[in-house]
Each structure stands twice: as structure tokens, then as C-alpha cells.
Chains A and B, each alone.
Chain A
Amino acid sequence: MSRWVGDRSLIACLRLAAATTGSVVLLIFVFLVFESWSALEALGLRFVTDSSWHPASDPSEGTFNLTPMLVGTLAATAGSMLLATPLALASAVFCNFYAAPRPAQLYRRMIELLAGIPSVVYGFWGLVVLVPLIRQIEPPGASLLAGILVLTIMILPTIALTADSAFGAVPESYLQASAALGLSRTTTLAAVVVPAARSGLFTGVMLGTGRALGETMAVLMVCGNVVQTPASLFDPIRTLTANIALEMAYALGDHRSALFVTGLALMCIVAALVLLTEAAAERWTVEGP
């Protein structure tokens, strides 16, 4: 009897703890909604219809258009994905199908090291090395391009490592069959390996997108933080995350609340990405490659 009670209470404790950890995300969501409520109520559609972003704590005095920053965020994310995805895929292909075992292992280690470097160091490096370089081409230097480059180096390891394990998991028999058919390396990769690994590749790309969207400090340091819709790669931009970091400490009233709206929007985008990825992974696993 006592043994049974012991087990029961152990499991009850575990479930309580698991429910707690599981509800952290709920708690964050509730808090964001709670804090952003007053701005959502007072401003509503003004987040897209106002003329510009010049916030004030009193909603009647300021203007609250978030779209330039949304565009900035999306441009930086899209740009870095466009650069990082091919590089990361090439890295994974290199490790699995080109390099001899030892260089492949060395390269893999290097990517793992790269994954461990904190974003603030990437930002700092971008600030002292990349920004002055870009300034020589086209002032002011702090720009969308600087942001894209820093984000690219930052998310490359995430995508490369996921793609690497996805390629590693492609069954040996597929490669043998392909070789037996006399297919070239390019054809094997394009027609056999990539389709077989698509779920893992997709996961990697989505994880990278999530990181790029959510990155704050690195982009804050190199992007110039001017609220405007960029007309070229050399224009400075402000991302949604940088906006929070830059103004949060100074914001009061509905201005503060508007920043929580930004946070809420970011969280919803990322949650959607994660759930989409899982749904896709599930479907592809069930169907098989």
C-alpha cells in the first residue's frame, strides 16, 4: 500500500512540474496580452494606418505605424535566409558527400563552434568590422545589408547542423540504388537525397527563420535603427525586436503597451512557424519520403 502511495505521489509531483513547465508559454502569452491590451484597445488598426512611428504615452499625441519595422524585419530575415540556406546546405552536402571523413568531422566541429558564439559577439564584430567596410562603399554603413550579413553568419550553423543530421539519416540503400542506376552525383543529390531529407531540411530552415526573426542585439547594433521602409540594401532599418530593446526602457503608458503588442506579434509569428514545422514534419514522416 505504501509503495503504491509513494508511486502515486511521485507521479503526481512529476505531472505538476510538467504542467508548470508546459504552462510557462501560456503564462508568457497571457502576460503579453494583458500588457498589450490597452494599446490594442486604444489603437487597433492604427498600427498599420498611422502615418509613421512617433509614439507617445498618450495615444492621441503619437503615431504608431509598425509596418516599416515589420518590413525591415521581414527584409532582414528574408535576405539572411536567401544567403544562409544555400551556404548551409552546401556545408551539409560537403560534410556528407564530398569531404573525407576527417576534414568532414573537422568542418562539423567548426560549425558547432560557430553555433555556440553568442549573438552579441556577432553584433559587436559586425559593428566594428562590417559597418565601417560598408560605409566605405555607401554611407552611413549601419544598414539592412549589415544586418543581413550578421544574421547570415548567425543562423548558418543552425540550418547546417540540422541539414547535416537530415542527410546523415538518409538510408544507405537509397545511395546504393542510385549508384546502381548509374546516376551522377548531382542527380543523386537533387532527386534522391534532398527529397528523402526534406523534413529535416524544412525543420532547419524554419528554425533558422525563427532565430533570424527573433534576434535582437546583433541587429540593433548594426542596422542603424531608423524607422523607415528600406529602399535599398544600404538604407538603415529598425526591426521589431530592436524597437522593443531601444524604446522599452523609455516607454510609458500606451507607448509601453504598444511595445508589448510588438512582442505579442513576434511571439505569434514564431509559434505559427514552430507548429507549421511540426505539422509538416509529422505529415512527411507518416507518408514516408
Chain B
Amino acid sequence: MLLQESSSSAPRKRPAPTGAAFGLRLGLLICLLSMLPSAGCQSPSEDPAGGTVEETVKLVVTGSSTVAPLVSDLAKAFEKKHDNARVDVQTGGSSRGMSDARRGLADIGMVSRSPKEGEDDLRWHPIANDGLAIIVHADNPVGALSSEQVEKIYRGDIESWHSVGGNDAPITVVNKAEGRSTLEIFLGHFGFESADVEADVVIGDNQQGIKTVSGNPDAIAYVSIGTAEFETSEGTPIKLLTLDSVVPSTAAVRDGTYPISRTLHLVTADEPEGWVAAFVDYCRSTEAHPLVEGQYFVPLGG
């Protein structure tokens, strides 16, 4: 008892802090925190190096999850060519790519569609063509759909595979979450609104669609033809549906017969200079074509 009392009273004689003192501390904390970046962070990529500088240069590329795997591959090859260059690729959707490029958070943005009206404040650099494929599980007996059938499935008017010549199983409709340009292109082609879609599963990234379909024999989804062909070549159990009697393939995208296609772009806030220009030019060069084809996209002018 005695021990407890002495210990609890001895060290506690400090006066209570006033509100002002607390505010002061908060101010101090904020000062402290704002000193952090100057201590730890030298601006990573602003050095407009011409290529002779020894120090490492980091380019930040953000945006579309459709374009990201391609640009990651291009980045790796680019890093091999230039020892002191580092290219960081982060996915986050096309609109994020544009916004980050505008605000300077990224050096380059990735956008999986063509510029819309009012977006010409950015510089657009097309790098490849791609189409949207409707995919189902490899075991699904259905091999072709018409645009009308796809629309009915997504609107919830057709609910069983039986109605389109398949098994007697309910269709699991996979849709993309808001803000993805793949969703915009899909809706644009079929001419309906995002609010009309009766989805059973909503996914984020492009890859997630393939993953969901490969794990669910009754699912239907739409993804980039490039991604889908890449995955089938890796042995993933999915298949691309013939749409309005056109077989989706990079060849059909190349000759323009496949109905849903788009151009993948890199965007920059200003006319690219230095390393940014070097990387953009590399992505557009014929040297990059094998890599573009390796990801099952269609090289420009190829």
C-alpha cells in the first residue's frame, strides 16, 4: 500500500497542459512531418538528363491495367538497354493515368482508349492496337454469340446458358468496376449504360476477369484480346467467343474486321524531353514490336 502510494505520487507533479500548449505541439508535429521529405527524398525523376549523366533516373508510369503488362515488359527491356534508367509501372486505370500525368505525379500515363473531346491538353502517343474479347470458361460449350445476345446477357434478360445453346446453368455475369476505360468501351460498343448492367461479380483489374472466368465454368466476362490470348497461350482454361461471326484474334484486330477495337496510348503532360522522350520513342519503335506481339497486341503500322 505504502509502496503503491509513493510510486504513484512521486513521479506525477507536472502541471496539466493547456489547450494552447497542445496546439503548439500539434504545430510542431506538422513541422516535423513536413521536414521528412526534404530529408529523405530527392526528387526522383526531374533530372532532364541527356543520357550521359551517371546517376540513376527513375520514370514513373501509371494508368490502365490493360496497357501495364506491355509497358512493364517494355520497361524491363529499356532498363536492359540503359543501365541507369529505372521505370516503375503502377496500375490504376486510364483516367488515373491521365490525371497523374497532368498533375505531375507520373512522368507518363497509360490510357487504353483514344482521346475524347477536351483531352487534347495532353500529348497522346499511340503504341499499339487491341480489341475487346468476350470470354468464357474453356469447358463452356457455347462458342459464339451475337452482339444482341451479349447485350441481353449483360442486361439480365438472358439468365441461363440454355437460352444461347449451352448447358442448363445460370450465367455469372462479370462486370468491371467504375472508372475503367475497358468498361466504357464495352458499354460504348453495345450502346447501354453502366446502370443497366445486371452483374453477379464486379472486378477491378483486367487480370481479375480472366481469373474469375477461369475459376467459374458459368461465367462470362470481357477483357482485352491481348490479355486473353496471352493467357490462353499460358494454358489458362478460357476461350474467346466469336462475336457476330468474327473470330477475335490479333489478326482480326489488325485487318480491322473485329468490331470492338481500340488504340492503346501513352500520355504526357508536355512534349516529352530527355528520358521520357527516350522511353516513349522506344515504345513506339519497330524494336518494340516483338514485345508488343509477345503480349498479343497489334503493333502500329505492322
Contact = CB atoms under 8 A, between A and B. Distances in A.
Interface string B188-205: 000000110001111110
Contact of B201 (A51, A52, A56, A142): A142
Contacts of A224: 200-202
B251 interface: no
A78 B22 CA distance: 39
A218 to B, nearest CB: 16
A223 to B, nearest CB: 9
B136 interface: no
Contacts of A140: 170, 172, 200-201, 216, 218-219
Given A249-B92, A250-B178, A135 B216 contact: yes
B28 A16 contact: yes
Interface stretch (A19-27, A90-98, A191-199, A269-277): A19-27
Contact of A250 (B29, B179, B201, B219): B179
A226 B95 contact: no
A112 interface: no
Contacts of B172: 139-140
Nearest to B212: A142
Contacts of B200: 139-140, 142, 224, 226, 236
A141 B169 CA distance: 13
A252 B202 contact: no
Interface in B3-44: 14, 17, 22, 25-26, 28-29, 32
B175 to A, nearest CB: 8
B215 interface: yes
A238 B202 contact: yes
A15 interface: yes
Q: How large is the interface on B (under 10, 10 to 19, 20 to 34, 35 or more residues)?
A: 20 to 34
Task: Find the residue from A132, A142, A255 having the highest chain B CB count within 10 A.
Answer: A142
Contacts of B25: 15-16, 19-20, 23
Interface in A46-85: 51-52, 54-57, 63
B242 interface: no
A216 interface: no
A238 B200 CA distance: 11
A247 B199 contact: no
A63 B195 CA distance: 10
Contacts of B177: 225, 246-247, 250
Interface in A204-235: 224-227
Interface of B: 14, 17, 22, 25-26, 28-29, 32, 91-93, 95-96, 99, 169-170, 172, 175, 177-180, 194-195, 199-204, 215-216, 218-219
